[in-house]
Amino acid sequence: MPAATTLLAFALVSLGMVLTPGPNMIYLISRSLCQGRRAGLVSLGGVALGFVFYMFCAAFGITALLLTVPYAYDALRFGGALYLLYLAWQAVKPGGRSPFQVRDLPHDSRGKLFTMGLVTNLANPKIAVMYLSLLPQFISPEHGSVLTQSIALGCVQIVVSVTINALIATMAGSIAGFLAGRPIWLQVQRWLMGTVLAGLAVRIALDSRR
C-alpha cells in the first residue's frame, strides 16, 4: 500500500484536477442547471462508472508497461506535463468560458443521463492523463505491488472526484447565481487554477524516477 503521505498528496492532486473545468464538470453543471439536481446526480453515476473503468485499465496497464517497456515512465511523465500545461492555458486564455454559464440541453431519461455521463467521462482526455501520466508519479516499488498501489490511488481519486462533483451538481444553481454578478471571481479562479496546473506540470517534468 502507498504511504499515508503519498495518499494525501495524490488526493490533493485529484482535488486540483477535479476543480479544473473540463468535460465532466461542464456536462454535470449544465445538466443540473437545465434539468435539476437529481438529473445531475444521475449523470454523475455514469461519470463514476467511467472512473472505475479507467482505474482498472490503468492499474493493469501501468503494471505491465512500467515493468516491460524501457523509458515508459519518462514518456508518461512528459506526456502528462504537456497536457497539464495545455489545461493551464485553457484556464487563462482570453475569451475562456465559465462552466457555470447555462448551456441548453434537452430533458432526457435517467438511463440516457447515466449513459451520457459515462460516455462524457470515457471521452475525457483529462481523466486518461490523470491515470496514465500522473498516477505513476505516486507509485513506489518499495511499498509493494504496483497493481495494489494503483488501485488504492485510483480509489482515492474516485472518492475525491465523486464527492466534489456531487457537491458541484447539487449547488450548481446557487454557484451560478453567485458568480453571475461577480465576474472578478471567475478571473481569480481561472488564474489560480492555471498557476497550480502549470506548477504541477513543471514539477512532473523535472521529477526523476524514484
- Could you give the CA distance from residue 208 to residue 76 in angstroms, rounded to a whole number? 12
3-state secondary structure at position 93 = coil
Q: What is the pLDDT of residues 132-159, one digit of tens each?
A: 777 777 887 777 788 888 889 889 999 9
Dump pLDDT digits (tens) for 33-78: 777 888 889 999 999 998 998 888 877 776 566 556 656 666 766 7
Find the helix or strand (DSSP H, E) in which 150 lies. helix 146-180
Query: 210: pLDDT confidence band, cut at 50, 70 and 90?
Result: very low
Share above pLDDT 70 across residues of the chain, in percent, rounded to a whole number: 69
CA distance 102 to 83: 27
pLDDT of 170 reads: 86
Place 2 in a pLDDT band, splitting at 50, 70 and 90. confident
pLDDT for res 163 = 94
Pick the more confident residue, 108 or 51: 51
What pLDDT sits at residue 47? 92
Query: Can you give the pLDDT at residue 117?
Result: 87
Assess whether pLDDT exceeds 90 at residue 160.
yes
Rounded mean pLDDT of the chain?
76
Can you read off the three cell numbers belonging to residue 4?
499515508
